[in-house]
Amino acid sequence: MITVLAGGVGASRFLQGLQQVVDPAAISVISNTGDDVEMFGLHISPDTDIVLYALAGAVNPETGWGLTGDTFAVVDQLQRFGYERWFNLGDRDLAMAIHRTRLLRTGVPMHEVVAGLARDWGLTCTVLPMTNEPVQTMITGPDGELAFQEYMVKLRTELDVRSIRFAGIEAAKPGPGVIESLADAEMVILAPSNPFVSIGPILGVPGVRAALETTKAVRVAISPIIAGQVVKGPAAKMMTTLGYEVSALGVAKIYDGLVDLFVLDQQDRDLAPKVEALGMRTLVTDTMMTSMERKAELAREVVAAARGAR
């Protein structure tokens, strides 16, 4: 089994490649639920849905979130009634949110909701929410604290992040199957996701970090930072304001002690000796997932290097 710790867009692109080169039934994804948000009275799970849509081949390739060809009639109509329109929840995406919310309200735990959604989308891989308990990623900027989607979408990340908190994490338990999927895996891959707000909440669920520290699996991380920049999202800005070096080496330092093999882009070749000095092996390759072929090739190289690192 290959277990992948996943955020949203970057992780889903990698997973699209991975499912082409290994049997999807052998893939377990642990998805971040810290981004979850209630909107219009509905429970929305952006990262989990991005993963589901991408694996089902239904994600909008331009944005990396939402469904291809979705329309926005409902949010347009809601705006007429005075609702805010900053979160672009598509009409078909909304159907997911209605279905998820209804199931949660009738007492179905989140892991069963997600397993059902994965089946409904025709997936054979396992998608495990990191926890069934509510955890909310909160961002503190100069003017106080706000929920992650407000920071990400409403404010378009235009805010200096001073600190990050995962509200509710102390009381959260790993979702059913999460610890087993780490303990029993052949390899665990930390996807090229934001180390603070995508991988961070997963590692913050009590017991998960320890499971990663003690697993016999080969542990691999793929840098989301390439040549000092992030492909998508606020990771680079966050690293700056939180006082980290904005580079693949900076990411490797965050994962120090958790990773056996670190994957960095060929443009960052010069950093490989410094990453190795931290005690990790390295794989230097083209990590820009610009086409489906590149996604598959990257996944193939990562799996081969991890098998070679045993």
What does the binding site for ligand FO1 look like in residue numbers (CB under 6 A)?
7-9, 35, 44, 46-47, 49-50, 65-66, 87-89, 93, 149, 152-153
The nearer residue to ligand FO1, 89 or 202, going by C-beta atoms, is 89
Cβ at position 60, least distance to ligand FO1 in Å: 10
Q: Report the nearest approach of ligand FO1 to the CB of residue 227 (Å).
A: 22
Helix (H) or strand (E) segment spanning residue 203: helix 199-204
Q: Give the residues across from 174 on adjacent strands.
A: 131
d(CA 242, CA 237): 8
Tell how strand 136-141 and strand 163-167 pair up.
antiparallel
In the complex with ligand FO1, the residue whose CB is nearer, 181 or 198, is: 198
Which of 186, 198, 243 has its CA nearest to residue 224?
Answer: 198
C-beta pairs of 18-22 under 8 Å, 24+ apart in sequence:
18/189, 18/299, 18/303, 19/55, 19/125, 20/292, 20/295, 20/296, 20/299, 21/296, 21/299, 21/300, 21/303, 22/299, 22/303
Q: Which is nearer to ligand FO1, 125 or 152 (CB)?
A: 152
Q: Smallest gap, in angstroms, from Cβ of residue 183 to ligand FO1?
A: 26
Residue 298 contacts residue 286 (beta carbons within 8 Å): yes
Q: Which residue's Cβ has the minimum distance to ligand FO1?
A: 8
Give min distance, CB of 49 to ligand FO1, in A: 4
Q: Is the dihedral of CA 271, 273, 279, 281 positive or negative?
A: positive
DSSP readout, 49-78?
Answer: HHHHHHHTT-B-TTTSSSBTT---HHHHHH
Considering the complex, state which of residue 88 and residue 229 has its C-beta at the smaller distance from ligand FO1.
Answer: 88
- Cβ at position 138, least distance to ligand FO1 in Å: 14
Structure tokens at 197: 């707000």
Least separation in angstroms between residue 149's CB and ligand FO1 is 5
**Nearer to ligand FO1 among residue 88 and residue 124 (C-beta):** 88
Identity of the residue, 198 or 287, whose beta carbon is nearer to ligand FO1 in the bound complex? 198
